[in-house]
Structure 1
Amino acid sequence: MESILQDQSSRPHSIPLQHLKEITNNFSEDRILGHGGIGVVYKGVLHNGEMIAVKKIVSSLMPGPQKQFENEVYHLMIVRNPNIVRCVGYCYEIKNACLEYNGKYIFAEMAERLLCLEYLPKGSLDKYLSDESSGLEWSTRYKIIMGICNGLRHLHEQNDKPIVHLDLKPANIMLDDSMEPKIIDFGLSRLLDKEQTICTSSRDGTFGYMAPEFLHSGTITRKSDIFSLGVIIFEIITGRRDYVDVTPNSSYEFIEDTLKKWRNTLERAPGYRSLEIECQQIKRCIQVALICMNFERAERPRIMKIISMLQGLESIDFDVTNVETSSRLFGSTDFGMPKNLTKLSCQELQIAHRDFSNIVGSVVCKGTIKDGPEFFPLDGKAAQLSWDRRMKIATGIAKGLRYLHSELQPPSTISKLNSKSVYVTEDFTPKLVDFECWKTMFSKHSKTLGHSNNESSFPGHLDFLKDKPSEVQCNSFAFGVILLEIISGRLPYCKDNGYLVHWAIKYLQQPKEISKLVDPELTNVRPDHLAVICGVAAGDALWPAKNVVKQNEQFELSC
């Protein structure tokens, strides 16, 4: 691998799993660099002391991780640019494991999927976002903006077929030692023909960065990334992404106000001599950001034009109507965004969340708004609750899923439903969260909705997973796992005991054995409740072609 790293022209190679275990100290926790949506990133140390990032995709029976892994490998094979992360190699090994199913042992395939990427020590851009009063100096911010644009130009214009990233955001922009940006995470990316437009039922991505036409109708073009780019440029300049105006003229006022703040900051910097040049750069960047966030995708410029405008080589036709339409994306209801939301000041949030020190998740802080309830995540907390409280949480989750699947129009699912996406109030009422993973389903796509394109999307699938899963079935399976977590007090996976589902199957299939699923610390367990939960969990965890809505209704009535 050392020779591959030194040869910048080499393509990604297949790397044995055993070698990756050796350089990551068997994927030890002290080597973890970060967590992503579908995997964990470890620091690998080679024999010559060089470092590499090893992204280990979490094993799952769900189709998403497999598809995203394939996307990353395929697309990183064909891109080569200083502003796109370099893929050194990959590992895709399948082993057969002997598991008990229906009273007999069968062999099931289990896949190990890993990516080896260049090591970028400065971390992701989201850690460096701030307003003009602190953080990175302007020259560094401008360098990052131009670098991201250069990487996007390579994706959109310099390949035989354009690659649309579809998840551009500061967390997916890494920085090297010299603060050069590198675009990462191609799991959601799509390959297009030159002027192709795709319509999809999927809504995978990150709210706030998703183009309105994609969020509203599933339309994908290169302009989808341009919208995301505009939001990122806006954040780099201001430290925030929530641009809201009241009148068309306020866009000009906003630009002038931002320029004034930056001018004051630059004037205070010792030995600063290029004030007017920097202020012109800042003004161009703000204008370009707002044009990129145009509500109408046809009005967003191509990446080549954006680069020319940022460099001052092409005039900027800045129209206040561009800004007026783009501002509707924030706080409006045009695209299914919530209305009548309470607006809170930063000071109120700091007080409520104790200066954001009470962290309960990767980016979530626990807090109590005045006269409001306190929330905490269910993940890992079920073992601390009584049986009645566990039943209240289970019933509430079922009601929430019933609303999403059958009462909400259009119906929706949560693509990454798990116990981390369930929060519980102080009176133990569950709330489904993680809106970044919500997906809207449209009846006109019913024939292809949520179905996998090939059988290999389920590495490690057992015989009972032959049918291609719909999004509702995926939620059904996830709900079954959450029910098992609630009654057993166990995590869905741990290194010593393996997968919770694999452990529970043998008891779910024997009605007389279901009591062994219950947390041994629990008392006052109602056998009728347990029987209903195990009946639903057995159906969901074994993934039959059933309707989760009907099962949830039965569950609610029984409990």
Structure 2
Amino acid sequence: MDDNHVGIDVNDIFSYAATSAAYRTSSSPTIRNANDGYTIYMKKAAVQAWIDFNASTNQLNISVSRGLGAKPTFPLISNSSLNLSDVFNENMYVGFSASTGPLSTVLYYVYAWSFTTNGGLAANVSMVSENTTKGANKTAIIVGVLFGTVGLVLALIISLYVYYKRRVLEPKYLSQDQWRLVLQEHLPQEFSYRELAKATNNFIEKNRLGSGGFGEVFQGTIIPSGVSIAVKRISNESKQGIKEFVSELTTIGRLRHRNLVPLLGWSQDKGLLLVYELMPHGSLDQVLFDHPEQLSWDQRLNIIRGVAAALLYLHEECEQKIIHRDVKASNVMLDAQMNARLGDFGLAKLYGHNVNPSTTNVAGTWGYMAPESFFTRKATEQTDIFSFGVLILEVVTGRRVGTILEENCSMLEWLWNLQRNNRLEDAIDLFLVKEGQGANDMIKTVLQLGILSSFPDPKVRPLIRRIVQILDGEAPLPTMPSMTSSSSLFSAVASSSFSYSDNTSSLFNSDTKSVSLAIEAFAGLNNAR
């Protein structure tokens, strides 16, 4: 491009659009003859420019003329594809400036300018006093001012449009559709970033409670109320983290139950932040697997009942049915009285009570995921029940679901072998045996309930209301199905999965990856190596 051009620059010296300066009298992109207009030489000349932006059509037109000439019939630059909305802050000032470059002398002057939001306002040059700077070439200066900063002027004009468009809160990290969904809910309190930074002592390392795939969690205290909080800071690089943020706000953000972790608030001033009530005893997995001696049988049973009550509320008692999709020990928090509080709703899905779950991506934690979910790709109450069943087995045995036992088999297969041989008491955590609970009939009942709930065939798993009744001693345990081998276990899940969904057959034919994942997932539960 020559040195006599008009360009649009957006935070870069390389122009988004540029063309030689000209007064246009036709729509021709080039000056072919006098009918098309004439070239405007801007060096040592006074030039007038018009920058027009139509917000409804996103149309930007730039026109130029010599001196105080009339506005050209056709614009020099006409563009409708440039979108600068993500370049600006929510609130900005509008103004014009002249750049002099690296030289110490002034090269450009702005003689006059005008700004309007409805068009048609011309510069009133009679209001501008004559510049008396000696040694400066005023003509050359105005040229550089008007055209060297076209990009900046454009940005400032559009910023006014963005400001009016965003007078109602609009997110910095969420799309309009996502934020509209959030605003429909009854949101908890919004915190400023400054409040949360002060509460966590600027998120120092010693206040970090842990980290995960979506970000980090810090503890802190709100001043001056003294409320202890846990702040989850979503990673800016995590697209999934943004989805988790929205999911948390639209599910647990409007729920209140004694066995759910309370979501106190949120912030997105400087990143996505979720604020929870701090659970003094941390997560269940930390206590259960690192300090099992701290959990008596009564406490463990109370924890299991608490999670069951939370799932009953989510599945049947909410206005909309909520499938958690990630029930596991690390997502169960323990409050000051060691009561269970189910948390982390980043993968949760909402459904109407009479609506069939839609096909979705396979989500959850390995070992807690129901085998049929790899075939059907659907999150249902029964996939949550499977995860809960695995959790029950971990709480009673004190073993992680992924543990490879001396018998070279997984925990689920090991428990089935003990069940077949009438030796289920061998699975009870040794700390409970030392407590004198080895012959406790309720422990055996809960173990069998865990096996039923994590059964490969979803039709065998009891509903959550029946589970609550069994745990409260108000209903008997269903008859345990007979299984003779691990292969028969897989046959159960395979046959059940293909009758579980009308679309499963086509999934099997068209998506062999899902099928192989399902086989591998089941092998991980029943024949780990």
TM-score grouping bracket, smaller chain normalisation: 0.5 to 0.7
More RCO (CA 8 Å, sep 6+):
1
Among 231, 234, 246, the alignment partner of 1:70 is 246
Q: Which residue is 2:452 aligned to?
A: 291
Query: Cα offset for 1:141?
Result: 0.6
Give the SS at the match of 1:69: helix
Q: Secondary structure at the match of 1:243?
A: helix
Q: Name the CA shift for 1:312/1:327 in 2 (closer, same or farther; >3 Å).
A: farther
1:204 counterpart residue number: 363
Is the radius of gyration larger for structure 1 or structure 2? 2
Deviation at 1:409, TM superposition (A): 4.8
Check conservation: 1:39, 1:57, Cα contact below 8 A: yes
Which runs of 5 or more residues in structure 2 are unaligned?
1-185, 402-410, 497-510, 522-529
Q: CA deviation at 1:157?
A: 1.3
Residue 258 of structure 1 and its aligned partner are, at CA, apart by 3.5
**TM-score normalized by the length of structure 2:** 0.53
Counterpart mapping for 1:483-494 below 5 A: none
Question: Cα deviations across residues 157-179 of structure 1 (Å, max 9, x unaligned)?
Answer: 11111100001110101111111
Q: Give yes or no for contact 2:396–2:429 (8 Å, CA) kept in 1.
A: no
Segments of structure 1 that go 5 or more residues without pairing to the other structure are: 1-9, 94-110, 268-274, 336-407, 415-434, 436-559
CA distance in 1, matches of 2:415, 2:427: 17
**Contact 1:214–1:224, Cα closer than 8 Å, also in 2:** yes
| Partner SS, residue 321 of structure 1 | coil
In the alignment, which of 210, 228, 236 is matched to residue 51 of structure 1? Answer: 228
Give the distance between the partners of 2:361 and 2:266, measured in 1 at CA.
27
Take 1:207 and 1:42, find their aligned partners in 2: how far apart are those partners?
A: 26
1:143 to 302, 315, 327: 302
Provide the secondary structure at the position in 2 that maps to 1:112. Answer: coil
State whether residues 56 and 115 of structure 1, in contact with CA within 8 Å, keep that contact through their aligned partners in structure 2: yes
Residues 165, 322 of structure 1: alpha-carbon distance in 2 compared, 3 angstrom cutoff: farther
* Pairwise CA distance, 1:26: 1.8
8 Å CA contact 1:51, 1:119 repeated in 2: yes
CA distance in 2, matches of 1:304, 1:323: 29
- What does 1:32-181 align with in structure 2 at a 5 Å threshold? 32-48=208-224, 49-60=226-237, 62-93=238-269, 112-130=271-289, 134-181=293-340
The one-letter code of the counterpart of 2:335 is D
Q: What SS class does the counterpart of residue 146 from structure 1 fall into?
A: helix
Deviation at 1:196, TM superposition (A): 3.3
Relative distance call for 1:54 and 1:130 in structure 2 (3 A) is: closer
Provide the residue aligned with 1:227 in structure 2. 386
Q: 2:424 aligns with which of 247, 251, 255?
A: 255
Q: Secondary structure at the match of 1:320?
A: coil
Specify which structure has the higher proportion of helix.
1
SS of the residue 1:313 aligns to: coil
CA deviation after TM superposition for structure 1 residue 129, in Å: 2.3
Cα distance per residue 1:242-270 (max 9 Å; x no partner): 22149777445242433696884233xxx
Alignment partner of 1:297: what SS? coil
Could you tell me how far apart the structure 1 residues matched to 2:315 and 2:484 are?
24
Residue 377 of structure 2 aligns to which amino acid in structure 1? G
Give the conservation status (yes or no) of the 8 Å contact 1:132–1:238. no
Report the CA distance shift for 1:223/1:67 in structure 2 as closer, same or farther (over 3 A).
same
Amino acid at match of 1:58: S
Per the TM alignment, residue 309 of structure 1 is displaced from its structure 2 partner at its CA by 0.9
Kept in 2: contact 1:294–1:323 (CA 8 A): no
The number of residue pairs the alignment matches comes to 310
* Per-residue CA distance 1:462-492 (angstroms, 9 max, x = gap): xxxxxxxxxxxxxxxxxxxxxxxxxxxxxxx
CA contact under 8 A between 1:294 and 1:322: conserved in structure 2?
A: no
Q: How far did 1:326 drift?
A: 10
Q: CA deviation at 1:115?
A: 0.5
Residue matched to 2:480 = 319
For residue 280 of structure 1, report the CA deviation from its aligned partner: 2.3
What amino acid is the match of 1:154? Answer: Y
Identity of aligned residues (%): 31
Q: CA deviation at 1:200?
A: 2.9
Structure 2 CA distance for aligned equivalents of residues 247 and 153 of structure 1: 27
SS of 1:194's partner is coil
Q: CA 1:82/1:207 → structure 2, altered by over 3 Å: closer, same or farther?
A: same
Question: How far did residue 134 of structure 1 move?
Answer: 4.1
Mapped partners of 1:260, 1:245: distance in 2: 14
**CA 1:13/1:192 → structure 2, altered by over 3 Å: closer, same or farther?**
same
Q: Residue 76 of structure 1: CA displacement?
A: 1.4
Deviations 1:478-518 (A, max 9, x none): xxxxxxxxxxxxxxxxxxxxxxxxxxxxxxxxxxxxxxxxx
User: 1:411 and 1:302 mapped to 2: Cα distance?
Assistant: 26
Tell me, in whole angstroms, the C-alpha distance in 2 between the residues paired with 1:46 and 1:257.
47
Query: Taking structure 1 as reference, are residues 258 and 63 closer, same or farther at Cα in structure 2, changes over 3 Å only?
Result: closer
- RMSD of Structure 2 on Structure 1 (CA): 3.7
Residues 418, 426 of structure 2: 8 Å contact kept: no
Cα–Cα, structure 1 residues 233 and 200, in superposed 2: closer, same or farther, change >3 Å?
same
**1:266 alignment partner in structure 2:** 435
Q: Which amino acid aligns with 2:413?
A: V
Matched residue SS, 1:198 = coil
Given that 1:68 and 1:186 are in contact with CA atoms closer than 8 Å, whether structure 2 keeps it comes out as yes
Query: For the Cα contact (< 8 Å) 2:372–2:494, is it kept in 1?
Result: no
Distance across 1 between alignment mates of 2:488 and 2:244: 32
Q: Which amino acid letter does the alignment assign opposite residue 446 of structure 2?
A: C
- In the TM superposition, 1:530-545 aligns within 5 A as none
- Report the residue type matching 1:243 in the other structure: L
Partner of 1:410: 513
How big is each residue's C-alpha offset from its partner over 1:415-469, in whole Å with a ceiling of 9 and x where there is no partner?
xxxxxxxxxxxxxxxxxxxx9xxxxxxxxxxxxxxxxxxxxxxxxxxxxxxxxxx
Amino acid at match of 1:255: L
Cα deviation for residue 42 of structure 1 reads 1.0
Quick one: distance in 2 between partners of 1:220 and 1:175?
26
Match of 2:197 in 1: 21
In structure 2, C-alpha distance between the alignment counterparts of 1:133 and 1:17, rounded to whole Å: 38
The answer to whether the 8 A contact 2:220-2:229 is kept is: yes
**Counterpart in 2 of 1:244?**
413
User: Aligned residue for 1:371?
Assistant: none
Aligned-partner Cα distance in 2 for 1:309–1:36: 35
SS across alignment from 1:187: coil
CA separation in 2, counterparts of 1:132 and 1:27?
28
CA contact (8 A) 1:259 1:279 kept: no
Following the alignment from structure 2 to structure 1, what is the Cα–Cα distance between the partners of residues 296 and 193? 42
Pick closer, same or farther for the CA change 1:250–1:282 going to 2, 3 Å.
closer
Question: What amino acid is the match of 2:434?
Answer: T
Taking structure 1 as reference, are residues 53 and 326 closer, same or farther at Cα in structure 2, changes over 3 Å only?
farther
Residues of 2 paired with 1:117 and 1:263: CA distance?
32
Q: 1:63 to 1:263 in 2, by over 3 A?
A: closer
Instruction: Determine the C-alpha separation between the residues in 1 that align with 2:360 and 2:210.
Output: 30
Asked if the contact 1:162/1:194 (under 8 Å) is kept, the reply is yes
Note closer, same or farther for the CA distance 1:327–1:229 as it changes in structure 2 (3 Å cut): farther
Offset of residue 73 of structure 1: 0.7
Q: Please give the per-residue CA displacement for 1:7-31, whole angstroms capped at 9, x wherever unaligned.
A: xxx9611111121112112222222
Greater alpha carbon shift after TM alignment, 148-157 vs 228-237: 148-157
Specify the SS of the correspondent of 1:234: helix
Task: Quote the offset at 1:133 in angstroms.
Answer: 8.3
CA shift digits 1:512-547 (9 cap, x unpaired): xxxxxxxxxxxxxxxxxxxxxxxxxxxxxxxxxxxx
CA distance in 1, matches of 2:313, 2:340: 14
What is the aligned partner in structure 2 of residue 300 from structure 1? Answer: 461
